[in-house]
């Protein structure tokens, strides 16, 4: 029996925009690599934001990492986000501190207080993403691809059950995009579940994963042999 990390059943998501997301159902199992595709405005980001309680679930049943997203209280949201790794398109690094200090800040904010354990955890995660040499650099000294690798390290710090990546290659050149995808695939092969929103057709052709298409606030799973450029952008 597969271990479910994420399960939505007839979910409705509260949004400020005109787009309505209703009767949404999906299951993500442990170890899955899931691509969430669809044109801009199709609801991809809104669905991802609901997974870490940025957008509220107002109907249906929704669980992620054993947390009920419909009944979660405001004070419980920080604890949920410790169990989830989140990677943003625009990196969201603190510009006034080094890579190491960015990562230390996250661990301090999530309850770590033993300096030796903090140091060990940061070094381990930097090694996983192959950027130990960037520890003392400031964000202004890094390329876009390097910044995104730091963001991936940050998402791994609290050993999350699932990583949510919202267009992680969206601001990168093709070479950097491939590097980021190779890192994410390696992390996935080591056991981390990943849900990644993208509209990059070339990545979908190059890398294997489940493909969920978002259209008009609804999701349906498509097979790799059904994939074409219209599938992604229509």
Pick the CATH number of 4-233 from 3.40.50.300, 3.90.1580.10, 3.40.190.10, 3.90.1640.20: 3.40.50.300
User: What's the chain's average pLDDT?
Assistant: 90
Q: Which of 34-48, 124-138, 198-212, 217-231 has the highest mean pLDDT?
A: 124-138
Task: Give the model's pLDDT for residue 230.
Answer: 65
The gap from C-alpha 139 to its chain's centroid, in whole angstroms, comes to 20
The end-to-end CA distance of the chain, in Å, is 35
What pLDDT does residue 19 have? 67
**Of 8-12, 148-152, 215-219, the least confident:** 215-219
Comparison of pLDDT for 232 and 123, the residue scoring more: 123
Query: What confidence score (pLDDT) does residue 10 get?
Result: 93
| pLDDT for 90 beyond 90 | no
Q: Which residue has 């059904």 as its token pair?
A: 226
**pLDDT cut 70: percent of the chain above it:** 96
Return the pLDDT at 137: 96
Q: What is the pTM of this model?
A: 0.89
């Amino acid at each position: 029996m597969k271990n479910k990390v994420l399960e939505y059943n007839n979910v409705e998501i509260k949004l400020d925009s005109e787009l309505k997301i209703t009767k949404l159902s999906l299951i993500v199992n442990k170890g899955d690599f899931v691509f969430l595709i669809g044109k801009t405005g199709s609801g991809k980001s809104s669905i991802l934001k609901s997974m870490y309680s940025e957008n509220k679930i107002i109907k249906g049943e929704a669980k992620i990492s054993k947390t009920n997203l419909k009944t979660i209280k405001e004070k419980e949201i920080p604890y949920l986000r410790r169990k989830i790794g989140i990677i943003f398109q625009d990196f969201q690094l603190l510009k006034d501190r080094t890579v190491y200090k960015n990562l230390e800040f996250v661990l301090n904010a999530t309850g770590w207080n033993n300096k030796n354990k903090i140091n060990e955890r940061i070094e381990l995660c930097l090694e996983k993403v192959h950027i130990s040499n960037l520890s003392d650099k400031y964000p202004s000294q890094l390329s876009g691809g390097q910044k995104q690798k730091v963001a991936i390290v940050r998402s791994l710090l609290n050993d999350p059950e699932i990583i949510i990546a919202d267009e992680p290659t969206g601001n990168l050149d093709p070479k950097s995009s491939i590097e980021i995808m190779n890192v994410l695939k390696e992390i996935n092969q080591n056991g981390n579940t990943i849900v990644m929103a993208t509209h990059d057709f070339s990545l979908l052709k190059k890398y294997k994963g489940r493909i969920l298409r978002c259209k008009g606030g609804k999701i349906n799973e498509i097979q790799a042999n059904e994939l074409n450029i219209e599938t992604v952008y229509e």
